[in-house]
Structure 1
Amino acid sequence: MILYKHFANKISRSVHTRHQLTPHRKGHPIPRDRLLHRWFKLMSNKKKAIKFHQHNSLKFRPLSSSLFPQSFICCRPRKVWPVNIFIFASSYGIAKHLNRTLIINENFLPFFKMEAKQSPVRISHDMSLCNRYTIHLEQTATRFDTRLMDFSLKPRLYLHGFLQSWKYFQGAEKEIRQLFHFNDNLIRSAQHKLDIFKKEFFKGKSIPNSVVFVGVDIRRKGLKKYLNEYMAPKEYFKNAIEYFYYHYNNVIFVGCTDSHEWVKKYLADVNVIPVKQLLLQMCVLSICNHTITSPGAFGWWSAWLANGTTTYYTPSQKTRRLHPNKFSASNEDHYPLNWVAISEDKKNENK
């Protein structure tokens, strides 16, 4: 009877907590399958035992390693995939800072290779481990929440929020850039589109030895759905175009947009590339030399992956007074410090 209770307690902990390994009293780990096998011998009805084992084994997915993570961070995807890039990158940076295992869905970011040569963060796809955790909400979407970087006493965390700050993954940029490599077919398609675009642009002319591609992300229709994101006006794009004309030679502005008519009407210097798929648009922008962004996660990550000179829209003081609830007091948590802030004012202070 004592032996019966001993294995009953072990099986209860193994099934309900979904551990892959259950510690023995002497400190040696007992594999879950072997523990179940011993338990079945003690049960009187073997048919029910086998049925019980098969039913629970379908729910259990083993980890890639033989050791169960004692502390981990869970993150779940949202409906908007550019936001999921923020969630993964920030969760990865926090996991590295806290020395945790990062648990994500297997198809979290399917368009990236997600391969790193030397990653200090172990990534697991066993979402069953996330059944029990402590939920932590971020305070503001585009502000850096220092509380999320200090959870040493809470081993199992679920970070709920948008996590749209570069400070969360500061120090992990090298690994994230290795993980965020687009699939080969997508890169070849984007490079082919850009090569055709270059030939048509210089049709009948000699192509210069050095051509600077500046990707221009122009979002109008999508941003109307969100009250907290103010659409960048045409004056901002014109000032950003002047900024690149001032600092670079042989500049070609490659536009990716959801409003072709608006671009033709107001931005004559921007040449819209004929790409409708959003993922391919981001890939095209990422292989450009520099970027002019619009507010939103799509333009943010297109610029970060391009890793060149980047401009972002910052409203003027007049616009802030007219719309006090739409803009935060500071953008330093959301935009990297080396990015160039440009407003809609006629005077461009960044020259």
Structure 2
Amino acid sequence: MGVLRCLVLVFKRIFRGPKWLQNYQCMSALGAVALMGFFYGAFTLGKMTRRKMSVTKWQPVYLGEQMRRDPKISRNHKLFMKWQKGFGNQLFQYASLYGIARDNKMQASISSNLELWDIFKLGDDVVNDYKDLPYLSRPRYLEKIGRYDKRTQFLNYNLDITLVGYFQSWKYFETYKDDLKKHFTFNYDYRKKINSYLKRIPGFKQGNKTRSTTLVGIHIRRGDMLDYNNVKLGYTVADEFYIQKAMTYYLSKYTNVVFIVASDDPEWAKQTVNQSLRKYYMSHQNRKSKFYPKARYLNNNTREFDFGVLSSCNHMIMTVGTFGWWAGWLAGGEVIYFKFYPRPGSDLAALFTPEDYYPRNWIGM
């Protein structure tokens, strides 16, 4: 109404005074009207834009427990993820997205471009329609870095929400681990190659985990963890003493152990594992059993193949990184992890909560 009143006053002034003055005033008035219209339009558009982008201010991304009990709340909305790079990282993101969506009775929506679709038999209850809405048009939930955030149990299911972060905690999906192990079953072509390799190991039976032979996977990551900037930040790598100690644990507890080793530093891994086997054998020569422990090395294979073989083992030794973490989680047996990651007192350690990252039954050494 204020703008209309100004327009009326302007046009009243146009028709006062001499004709030459009226023409001059008309041009000035029209210019003033155009300028006022421009600012009014910009103000209105800006207000609408702010309202759209501030949706999380008026409709919070997470709700209180009391609001969750409201039966009027609609629960038909979707939960998305801003995907990061890295095979193990994406497994964490997928599992956490699935778990958080189930907790909130929302629909997990996965990008059709995600490579996991080509590798695994992902669940039928996961929707492949990520492109329905542009990323910036949805309210976003940012994780608390390096720790489990229980607020994810109370998301606002009146909204379509995008999760932003890595969400690397077993607690996000522990309730649904049986479902996820089915989701992370390899597709037929991958499964065929993996089983073909495993069947060549003495004691392997019918494509399942062995009975007479105990398979222990070892994943050794070094490579980028030794870069100067990563070391400065707090990343560490497992040393030969850790590998030897972890291997001795399994050799002392199980019979007919065969280690299957994958590493981004195959020469170091082979030297370290072979040395550990020799030391164990020499220190146990007085035993009646003459079994010499064996190791097999995965070299020049695809990432998916190595992961499939490791996750098919009975037990697992991981060093650092999400690749080894997931191989151990899917193996389902005993998992030993390197407990001196990250470096104590480092910047990375300040953002890391071990009890949120490693399941309770895993063994730190």
Q: What's the TM-score bracket when you normalise by the shorter of the two chains?
A: 0.5 to 0.7
Secondary structure, aligned partner of 1:254: strand
Which aligned pairs between 1:1-351 and structure 2 lie closer than 5 A? 70-108=76-114, 109=116, 110-115=118-123, 119=125, 122-131=126-135, 132-140=137-145, 142-152=146-156, 155-196=159-200, 198=201, 210-225=212-227, 226=230, 227-268=233-274, 269=277, 270-315=295-340, 320=343, 323-327=345-349, 330-342=353-365
Task: Kindly state the Cα deviation for residue 193 of structure 1 after the two structures are TM-superposed.
Answer: 2.0
Q: Which runs of 5+ in 1 are unaligned?
A: 1-16, 18-67, 201-207, 343-351
Q: Distance in 1 between matches of 2:100 and 2:211?
A: 43
Q: Distance in 1 between matches of 2:353 and 2:157?
A: 31
Q: Distance in 2 between matches of 1:185 and 1:153?
A: 38
Query: Relative to 1, partners in 2 of residues 1:276 and 1:302: Cα closer, same or farther, differing over 3 Å?
Result: same
Secondary structure, aligned partner of 2:325: helix
Secondary structure, aligned partner of 2:215: strand
Q: Distance in 1 between matches of 2:91 and 2:343?
A: 29
Q: Distance in 1 between matches of 2:179 and 2:94?
A: 12
Superimposed CA distance per residue, residues 64-87 of structure 1 (whole angstroms, 9 cap, x where no aligned partner): xxxx98421111322212211110
Task: Kindly state the Cα deviation for residue 191 of structure 1 after the two structures are TM-superposed.
Answer: 2.0
Superimposed CA distance per residue, residues 281-318 of structure 1 (whole angstroms, 9 cap, x where no aligned partner): 000101111100121110011111111111111029xx
Percent identity over the alignment?
28
Query: Relative to 1, partners in 2 of residues 1:169 and 1:256: Cα closer, same or farther, differing over 3 Å?
Result: same
Q: Distance in 1 between matches of 2:271 and 2:157?
A: 57
TM-score by length of 1: 0.68
Query: Relative to 1, partners in 2 of residues 1:242 and 1:91: Cα closer, same or farther, differing over 3 Å?
Result: same
Q: Distance in 1 between matches of 2:76 and 2:297?
A: 50
Q: Distance in 2 between matches of 1:189 and 1:79?
A: 25
Q: Distance in 1 between matches of 2:165 and 2:123?
A: 25
Superimposed CA distance per residue, residues 297-348 of structure 1 (whole angstroms, 9 cap, x where no aligned partner): 10011111111111111029xx955x53343574110011111111xxxxxx
Is this contact kept in 1: 2:75–2:105, CA < 8 A?
no
Is this contact kept in 2: 1:230–1:326, CA < 8 A?
no
Is this contact kept in 2: 1:275–1:281, CA < 8 A?
no
Superimposed CA distance per residue, residues 176-219 of structure 1 (whole angstroms, 9 cap, x where no aligned partner): 111111111112212222333x259xxxxxxx960000000011
For 1:341, give the aligned amino acid: G
Q: Which runs of 5+ in 2 are unaligned?
A: 1-51, 53-73, 204-209, 278-294
Task: Kindly state the Cα deviation for residue 238 of structure 1 after the two structures are TM-superposed.
Answer: 1.0
For 1:324, give the aligned amino acid: S
Q: Which has the larger radius of gyration?
A: 2
Task: Kindly state the Cα deviation for residue 241 of structure 1 after the two structures are TM-superposed.
Answer: 0.5
Is this contact kept in 2: 1:255–1:271, CA < 8 A?
yes
Query: Relative to 1, partners in 2 of residues 1:82 and 1:242: Cα closer, same or farther, differing over 3 Å?
Result: same
Q: Distance in 2 between matches of 1:101 and 1:281?
A: 32
User: For residue 11 of structure 2, what is the aligned residue in structure 1?
Assistant: none
Secondary structure, aligned partner of 2:172: helix
TM-score by length of 2: 0.65
Secondary structure, aligned partner of 1:171: helix
Q: Distance in 2 between matches of 1:163 and 1:290?
A: 25
For 1:78, give the aligned amino acid: Q
Name the count of aligned residue pairs. 261
Superimposed CA distance per residue, residues 96-134 of structure 1 (whole angstroms, 9 cap, x where no aligned partner): 000001111123212111145xx5xx5242422354211
Query: Relative to 1, partners in 2 of residues 1:153 and 1:174: Cα closer, same or farther, differing over 3 Å?
Result: closer
